[in-house]
């Protein structure tokens, strides 16, 4: 078996660490070529010591000097780089077989796109890439023969439930609906009046999953499910009306596909990201991921509810921008990243997130998606508008 050389974008994050845990279990299959993170030098150094990658990447020159010194003193040969250019290089390097795209947010767009353009096996967790630039990204995947494997648990479940040749069209494969499950987050049943006082820690306390803070807040607003509707649209070429969100508080069914003959195929498992990560890494084989087997007797009950679009306004906004097209999803994504960062920093109330997202969409016209530059311009414009609105305190 040829050893797979992997670049991990976002190695110090929740998905990055789960990826390294799967790699740790299979040293005969995987080798880490590059570890890329933002500013957590100490945890990146610990990862370098364990996985001995050829390269490590951090945000800037100063952090790179710190990490390089640590590597030298630890006797490591790891070469340290910094900045977006280095991320792009690590995604596209000829030695690399596969890339785990697990940076959070728009910062992942360029390196992930570079992996697609280099025709890599691309394991995609960074859903914001598809939300911002779905058309551009999917075009790059097709044009350069990249293999796109969804890591997001729902999309991984849908991928597992579809026939291998789904690329010829969902309708041609007899697909009627994609059933995208959602836990509903920590505030599914919280009285609406109490939502205005929600704190960042309460929003990040997800009932079933342990994740990074940004996606945890997105789960609490259900923006995450909205982003996933757009993600499903692009990965599976599914029109919005074919994607049905199903609230399923136990997070055991990770999503399902309904077919013309009445069959519904689903993928189930404990809520542990190492399952979809291991699936993507070993595809089409199956390998151990360190995940507890599912105990149906212990679970006993599975529930399903329709989503509440009033309570979770962000979910509605996502369907709206998907139908509108062009740069509208990129504008929503940028507004949301700005709003979530402000909420986590204590300068925007929880309910202000949806309000700010909506106001940004209302203020800025969508344009055709066009080039990467057009997408980045829409992203920058939306961030500017949202930051200003937060400073003027119009959403408190």
Alpha helix stretches (DSSP H) within the chain? 14-25, 41-51, 61-73, 83-92, 109-117, 128-143, 153-161, 200-204, 213-221, 223-236, 274-282, 296-299, 313-324, 328-344, 350-363, 372-391
Which partner from the list ligand NAD, Mg ion, none does 267 bind, CB cut-off 5 to 8 Å by kind? Answer: none
Total number of residues that touch ligand NAD (CB under 6 A): 25
DSSP structure class, residue 10:
T
Report the C-alpha gap between 375 and 226 in whole angstroms.
19
For tokens 């077919």, what's the residue? 259
Supply the Cα-derived Rg of the chain in whole angstroms. 20
271 binds, among ligand NAD, Mg ion, none (CB under 5 to 8 A by kind): none
Interface with ligand NAD, residue 185, by CB under 6 A? no
Site residues for ligand NAD, 118-147, by CB under 6 A, read 125-128
Q: Cα separations (Å) of 323 from 176, 302, 320, 337, 369?
A: 19, 32, 5, 21, 13
Instruction: Look at residues 95, 123, 104 and name the one whose alpha carbon lies nearest to residue 23.
Output: 123
117 forms part of the interface with ligand NAD (CB under 6 A): no
Please, what is the minimum distance in Å from the beta carbon of residue 168 to ligand NAD?
27
Q: Which of 103, 136, 318, 353 binds ligand NAD (CB under 6 A)?
A: 103
12 part of the interface to ligand NAD, by CB under 6 A: yes
Q: Of residues 92, 179, 215, 353, which one binds ligand NAD by CB under 6 A?
A: 215
Residue 2 pairs in a beta bridge with none
Closer by beta carbon to ligand NAD, 179 or else 227: 227
Beta carbon nearer to Mg ion, 161 or 327: 161
Residue placing its CB nearer to ligand NAD in the complex, 253 or 359: 253
Min dist CB 125 to Mg ion, Å, is 9
Residue 237, helix vs strand vs coil? coil
Identify what 375 binds: ligand NAD, Mg ion, none; CB under 5 to 8 Å per kind: none
Q: Which of 68, 80, 93, 104 binds ligand NAD (CB under 6 A)?
A: 104
Tokens of 153: 């648990």
Residue 89, binding choice from Mg ion, ligand NAD, none, Cβ under 5 to 8 Å by partner class: none
Spacing of C-alpha 17 from chain mean position? 14
String marking each residue 16-55 x if it binds ligand NAD according to CB under 6 A: x--------------------xx-x---------------
How much of the chain is in helix, strand and coil states, percent to nearest 5? Answer: 50, 15, 35
Closest to 313 measured CA to CA, from 344, 345, 342, 356:
356
By beta-carbon proximity to ligand NAD, the closer residue of 312 and 395 is 312
- When CB distances to ligand NAD are compared, the closest residue is 13
Of the residues 41, 63, 96, 102, which one makes contact with ligand NAD according to CB under 6 A: 102
Query: Bridge-partner residues for 34, per DSSP?
Result: 7, 55
158 binds, among Mg ion, ligand NAD, none (CB under 5 to 8 A by kind): none
The interface partner of residue 128, options being ligand NAD, Mg ion, none and the CB cut-off 5 to 8 Å by kind, is ligand NAD
Least gap, CB of 16 to Mg ion (angstroms): 16
Rounded-to-integer distance, Cα 223 and Cα 152, Å: 14
Q: Which does 215 bind (CB under 5 to 8 A by kind): Mg ion, ligand NAD, none?
A: ligand NAD
Q: Can residue 330 be called a binding residue for ligand NAD (CB under 6 A)? A: no
Does 208 participate in binding ligand NAD (rule CB under 6 A)? Answer: no
State the residues that interact with Mg ion by CB under 5 A.
Answer: 152-154
Query: Residue 126 contacts by C-beta under 8 Å, 6 or more apart in sequence?
Result: 9, 10, 101, 102, 103, 104, 105, 108, 112
Q: In what order do the strands lie in the sheet with 121-124?
A: 79-82, 55-58, 30-36, 4-9, 98-101, 121-124, 147-150
252 lies in the binding site for ligand NAD (CB under 6 A):
no
Which residues are near ligand NAD by CB under 6 A? 10-16, 37-38, 40, 102-104, 107, 125-128, 152, 209, 211-212, 214-215, 273
């Amino acid at each position: 078996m040829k050893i797979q050389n992997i670049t991990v974008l976002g190695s110090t994050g929740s998905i990055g660490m789960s990826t390294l845990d799967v790699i740790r279990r299979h040293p005969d299959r995987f080798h880490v070529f590059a570890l890329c993170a933002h500013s957590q030098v100490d945890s990146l150094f610990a990862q370098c010591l364990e996985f001995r990658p050829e390269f490590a990447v951090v945000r800037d020159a100063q952090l790179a000097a710190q990490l390089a010194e640590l590597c030298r003193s630890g006797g490591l040969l790891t070469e340290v780089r910094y900045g977006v250019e280095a991320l792009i290089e690590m995604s596209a390097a000829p030695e690399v077989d596969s890339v785990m795209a697990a940076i959070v947010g728009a910062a992942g767009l360029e390196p992930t796109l570079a992996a697609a353009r280099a025709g890599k096996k691309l394991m995609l967790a960074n859903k914001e890439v598809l939300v911002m630039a779905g058309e551009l990204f999917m075009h790059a995947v097709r044009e350069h023969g990249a293999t796109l494997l969804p890591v997001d648990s729902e999309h991984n479940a849908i991928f597992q439930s579809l026939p291998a040749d789904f690329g010829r069209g969902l309708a041609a494969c007899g697909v009627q609906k994609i059933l995208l499950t959602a836990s509903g987050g920590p505030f599914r049943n919280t009285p609406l009046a109490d939502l205005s006082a929600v704190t960042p820690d309460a929003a990040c306390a997800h009932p079933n999953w342990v994740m990074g803070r940004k996606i945890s807040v997105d789960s609490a607003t259900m923006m995450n499910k909205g982003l996933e509707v757009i993600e499903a649209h692009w990965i599976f070429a599914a029109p919005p009306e074919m994607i049905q969100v199903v609230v399923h508080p136990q997070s055991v069914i990770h999503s399902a596909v309904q077919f013309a003959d009445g069959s519904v195929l689903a993928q189930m498992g404990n809520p542990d990201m190492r399952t979809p990560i291991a699936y993507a890494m070993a595809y089409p084989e199956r390998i151990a991921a360190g995940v507890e087997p599912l105990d149906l007797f212990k679970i006993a009950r599975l529930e399903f509810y329709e989503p509440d679009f009033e309570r979770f306004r962000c979910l509605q906004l996502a369907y709206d921008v998907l139908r509108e097209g062009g740069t509208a999803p990129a504008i929503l994504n940028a507004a949301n990243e700005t709003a979530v960062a402000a909420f986590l920093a204590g300068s925007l109330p929880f309910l202000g997130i949806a309000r700010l997202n909506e106001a940004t969409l209302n203020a800025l016209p969508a344009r055709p998606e066009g080039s990467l530059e057009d997408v980045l311009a829409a992203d920058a414009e939306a961030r500017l508008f949202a930051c200003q609105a937060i400073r003027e305190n119009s959403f408190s």
